[in-house]
Structure 1
Amino acid sequence: MKIQAKKHISQRLNQEMQSLNTGGWSDRQKLALACRILHEEGHWRGLAGQMTARVDGSSEMLTLGFGVGFDEARASRLARVDQDLRPLGNSVMPNPGVRFHAWIYAQRPEIQAIVHTHPPACAALSMTGEPLTVAHMDATPLFDDCAFLPEWPGLPIGDEEGRIIAAAMGDKHAILLANHGLLAAGRSIEEACMLAVWMEQAADMQLRARALGPVKAIDAALAQESRDFLRRPKVLELTFANFARRAVRADGGVLL
């Protein structure tokens, strides 16, 4: 009875959410906003972080210019590049690290955006040889959807690193990269951004809990139920919009 009641409530919520406003931003604006969000969430370490978005289902990508930090992202200044990282139009050179993003886009046509960063908690967890554990409700969006690459393949600016990371990721949407950081690949800009945010939060909780003792994973069925709700497209849009509005309040120029 309880399961049926919960299912009914979930379905009703899904219907009611469809009318809620989520910003109406363009993909360029969403990508710039995502970069600002990632900066505020601690993903700003130097120029190692990148975020890309696929352009209209093609092999072209939008991304930041090389040397531009997440905190400097603006919609009009994003670079547009082809799969070989050649700038298109008036675009500038991108971060060479986005080369391995092209490998994932080529193998995963459903993926529309990718985040790769070295935030402190994921970077620290990546040094332990321990994969991410879903042991808290806030980590459930990553349940059974976060791979682990146990060996660092080296600086990811060549094709070999792209092959290794894409193969290790398989059909999942996130991966913890040993001695490195995280990668999140979403079916939307919102999903990629929020997976990266949630992954860093989950890693931080895991490190804090491990200092006290063993980490107890959540029951698989309950974790899946939570993941499936929190990863619904409309829930992702609403969650992203909440973070994005903060970025706009801090600097409305991000949308220009």
Structure 2
Amino acid sequence: MDRVRDSDPVMAIRSAKGHVTKEEWQVRTDLAAAYRLVAKCGWDDLVFTHLSARVPGPHHHFLINPYGMMFGEITASSLVKIDLEGNKAMPSPFDINPAGFTIHSAVHEAREDAHCVMHLHTVDGVAVSCQKGGLLAISQQSLFPLSNLAYHDYEGVALNPEEKKRLVADLGKNHNMILRNHGLLTCARTVPDAFLLMYILQKSCEVQVRAQAGGGELIPIPKPILEGIQKASETVTRQSGGMLAWPGLLRMLDREQPGWRH
């Protein structure tokens, strides 16, 4: 991917479509869409959070955002392909965030099913991550992430390779994680599924913060209901999956932000 127009640093790279497999291009477009949707929802934190997706094929390569590019600017071709050591697996004029590499490479390496990993610093997500009680069972939305939710204690900016072992141990087989004093993380087999998980986890945090701000006594969901939904939630989410809403979200992006597929 070489620069073609120095006057436009966002679009000044050649399309990668003719230089990657059809399967990789599909993942690139899905991940670029996820970045644009995160920006549209107001979940981005300038350039300081990350979404990543594994590239189909025998090599353990994955795609991550070009460091310094706003989420609302990211395109399918601008995503950087790297290996588990953080080395570029395909030429790119962009660098990556080393903290993003630490967190994402840990999950991708440990979880064969974690083809997509999303990590955000949303205001409400960070607010809940600072609360000792974490996510509370006070809304219908919260029941789904609570069925497979993990926590990881804060260890500073994620630059220490040794933290990777503790992070993946804390994550276990779960698909949702609250990084204490830090933010939210979801992982799934596909970009649409990881996005849906993040949407529900983020919505749960928003509801919790607003309910607490109201100052009234909160009504906890009875434990039998919580346990019943926990047992059924994996089946329910697999039946619905992220693909229910994903095509509509892509159509919305095509209408409002043409060019993201570049």
Whether TM-score is above 0.5 comes out as yes
1:217 aligned partner: 221
Could you list the structure 1 runs, at least 4 aligned residues long, displaced by more than 6 angstroms after superposition.
none
Q: Which amino acid aligns with 2:96?
A: P
1:34 maps to a residue whose letter is: A
Question: Letter of the aligned partner of 1:236 in structure 2?
Answer: G
Q: 1:110 aligns with which of 110, 113, 138?
A: 113
Paired residues for 1:99-178 under 5 Å = 99-149=102-152, 151-178=153-180
Deviations 1:144-168 (A, max 9, x none): 211122x311101231232222111
Q: Residue 118 of structure 2: SS of its match in structure 1?
A: strand
Confirm whether residue 252 of structure 1 aligns to residue 253 of structure 2. Answer: no
Give, in whole Å, the separation in 2 of the partners of 1:172 and 1:135: 21
**Partner residue of 2:90?**
89
After alignment, is 223-232 or 209-218 more displaced?
A: 223-232
Please tell me the residue identity of whatever aligns with 2:123.
P
Q: Is the 8 A contact 2:60 2:84 kept in 1?
A: yes
Cα shift readout 1:124-182 (whole Å, capped 9, x = no counterpart):
11122222124323333313211122x31110123123222211111101111111001
TM-score, normalised relative to structure 2: 0.81
Report 1:195-214 matches (<5 A).
Answer: 195-211=197-213, 212-214=216-218
C-alpha offsets along residues 44-83 of structure 1, whole Å, 9 cap, x if unaligned?
Answer: 1122210000111542111111111211110111110111
Q: Between the two proteins, what is the percent identity of the paired residues?
A: 24
Please show how residues 220-235 of structure 1 align to structure 2 within 5 Å: 220-224=226-230, 227-228=233-234, 230-232=236-238, 235=241
Higher relative contact order (CA 8 A, sep 6+): 1
The residue that corresponds to 2:245 in the other structure is 239
Q: Residue 39 of structure 1 contacts residue 71 of structure 1 at CA under 8 Å; is this kept in 2?
A: yes
Aligned partners of 2:109 and 2:159: how far apart in 1? 16
SS at match of 1:26: helix
Query: Which of 186, 191, 196 lines up with 1:194 in the alignment?
Result: 196
Give the Cα–Cα distance (whole angstroms) in 1 for the partners of residues 236 and 101 of structure 2.
28
After the TM superposition, which of the residue ranges 205-214 and 74-83 deviates more from structure 2?
Answer: 205-214
Partner Cα distance (1:172, 1:108) in 2: 10
Alpha-carbon contact 1:126-1:180 (below 8 Å) kept:
yes
Is the 8 Å Cα contact of residues 137 and 226 (structure 2) preserved in structure 1?
A: no
If each structure's helix is expressed as a fraction of its own residues, which one has the higher value? Answer: 1
Distance in structure 2 (CA, Å) of the matches to 1:124 and 1:214: 17
1:74 aligns with 2:80: no
CA distance, structure 2, for counterparts of residue 75 and residue 230 of structure 1? 31
- Quickly say closer, same or farther: Cα 1:230–1:76, change in 2 above 3 A: farther
Q: Which amino acid aligns with 1:244?
A: L
The number of aligned residues is: 231
Q: Shift of residue 215 of structure 1?
A: 4.3
Contact 1:133-1:217 at 8 Å conserved across structures: no
For 1:166, give the aligned amino acid. V
Q: TM-score, normalised by structure 1?
A: 0.83
Show the counterpart of 1:33. 33
In the alignment, is the contact (CA less than 8 A) between 2:121 and 2:184 conserved in 1? Answer: yes
Amino acid at match of 1:84: E
Q: Which runs of 5+ in 1 are unaligned?
A: 1-24
Q: 1:100 to 1:167 in 2, by over 3 A?
A: same
Q: CA RMSD in A?
A: 2.0
Q: In structure 1, what is the Cα distance between the partners aligned to 2:54 and 2:196?
A: 17
Cα separation, 2, equivalents of 1:162 and 1:215: 37
Read off the aligned partner of 2:251 and give its amino acid letter.
R
